[in-house]
């Protein structure tokens, strides 16, 4: 016992999560939009509202005037678990994730629209969660990672790695993390061969058309654009700070009971195989986070 105390005292102190964060003042005047959005109200009125990103295939987009995609189907299974109707609003991405959470979860947009009960496809980061106290981050359902898609005829033997793009062309979404990574590669060696497009889907269209030898971006978005002449892999990415991240949902911090119910629905869908079937139906590989 004495030795244990000595060892503990001698060990360097470990900083606890959020130790260095100074909390913000809690919002005092809540928008009328969030009044009555608790789980009991949702169950009583018979529907739940979701915010999902627009023009974001394969996750969420409009098809024939109706929201579609993996995230939409995840919202549907959440609603089914609660026994209510799902209602979706497709929203444009803001400048930052904090803007999106303010607009669609805890405060509401400045011009038009209202907050949703749940926002889908929210990346989880422990340190970020400390800084956004108005939101509960939960319901994690997929581990995403950056990957490289390529033309089989351009690389018949060895799939490309970033160093290849000193000489070979690569398509990326403009101002994406793949774009930033490649253009900041030591010495700017790759910059001349990075071709930028409005979206990852457009980059994959360019790859399929032979305008580029490879494309780089989030794995699921690359998989959604694969054809028989294309392949994808996930090589090591030297110096990439955030090449993998977990995606889940966000709920207003006032409504933790709702957050628990949504999390339970997602965990159940992962455990019984429904979540994997959703991904498979869209031609995507499923990479679940470690279950709690």
Residue 112 lies in a domain: yes
Pair 212, 258 in one domain:
no
Read off the pLDDT of residues 243-290 as tens digits, 9 standing for 90 and up.
Answer: 889 999 999 999 999 999 999 999 999 999 999 999 999 999 999 998
Q: What pTM does this model have?
A: 0.86
Pair 176, 266 in one domain:
no
pLDDT at 13 over 80: no
Pair 66, 101 in one domain:
yes
Kindly state the tokens that stand for 168: 């070979």
Pair 207, 163 in one domain:
yes
Pair 129, 151 in one domain:
no
Pair 77, 107 in one domain:
yes
Pair 51, 117 in one domain:
yes
Which of 86-89's residues contact partners 24+ apart within 8 Å by CB, and which partners? 86/47, 86/48, 86/50, 87/47, 87/48, 87/49, 87/50, 88/49, 88/50, 88/51, 88/52, 88/60, 89/49, 89/50, 89/51, 89/52, 89/113, 89/116
Question: Looking at the 3D structure of the chain, how many domains does it have?
Answer: 2
In this prediction, residue 208 carries a pLDDT of 97
Q: How many C-beta neighbours within 10 Å does residue 279 have?
A: 21
Q: What is the mean pLDDT of the chain?
A: 88
Which of 233, 255, 270 finishes a domain?
A: 233
In this prediction, residue 114 carries a pLDDT of 87
Residue 17 lies in a domain: no
In this prediction, residue 20 carries a pLDDT of 63
Residue 52 lies in a domain: yes
Whichever domain contains 225, its CATH number is 3.40.190.10
Pair 138, 259 in one domain:
yes
Read off the pLDDT of residues 200-237 as tens digits, 9 standing for 90 and up.
Answer: 999 999 999 999 999 999 999 999 999 999 999 999 99
Residue 28 lies in a domain: no
pLDDT at 11 over 50: no
Q: Write out the residue range of the structural domain in which residue 105 sits.
A: 37-143+244-281
Pair 71, 198 in one domain:
no
Pair 138, 59 in one domain:
yes
Read off the pLDDT of residues 62-96 as tens digits, 9 standing for 90 and up.
Answer: 999 999 999 999 999 999 999 999 999 999 988 88
Residue 137 lies in a domain: yes
């Amino acid at each position: 016992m004495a030795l244990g105390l000595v060892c503990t005292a001698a060990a360097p102190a470990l900083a606890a999560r959020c130790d260095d964060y100074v909390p913000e003042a809690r919002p005092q005047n809540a928008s009328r939009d969030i009044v009555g959005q608790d789980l009991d109200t949702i169950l009583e009125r018979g529907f739940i509202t979701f915010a999902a990103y627009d023009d974001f295939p394969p996750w969420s987009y409009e098809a024939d005037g109706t929201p579609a995609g993996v995230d939409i189907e995840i919202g549907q299974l959440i609603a089914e678990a609660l026994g209510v109707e799902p209602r979706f609003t497709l929203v444009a991405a803001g400048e930052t994730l904090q803007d999106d959470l303010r607009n669609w979860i805890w405060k509401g947009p400045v011009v038009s629209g209202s907050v949703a009960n749940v926002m889908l496809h929210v990346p989880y980061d422990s340190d970020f969660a400390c800084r956004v106290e108005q939101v509960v981050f939960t319901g994690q359902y997929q581990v995403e990672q950056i990957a490289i898609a390529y033309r089989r005829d351009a690389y018949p033997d060895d799939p490309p790695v970033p160093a290849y793009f000193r000489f070979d062309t690569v398509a990326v979404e403009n101002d994406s993390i793949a774009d930033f990574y490649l253009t900041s590669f030591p010495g700017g060696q790759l910059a001349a061969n990075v071709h930028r497009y409005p979206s990852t889907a457009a980059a994959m269209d360019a790859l399929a058309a032979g305008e580029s030898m490879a494309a780089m971006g989030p794995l699921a978005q690359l998989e959604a654009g694969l054809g028989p002449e294309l392949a994808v892999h996930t090589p090591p990415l030297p110096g990439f700070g955030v090449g993998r991240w977990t995606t889940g949902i966000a709920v207003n911090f006032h409504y933790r009971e709702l957050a628990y119910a949504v999390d339970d629905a997602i965990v159940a869908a992962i455990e019984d195989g429904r979540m994997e079937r959703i991904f498979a139906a869209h031609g995507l590989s499923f990479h679940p986070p470690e279950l709690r």
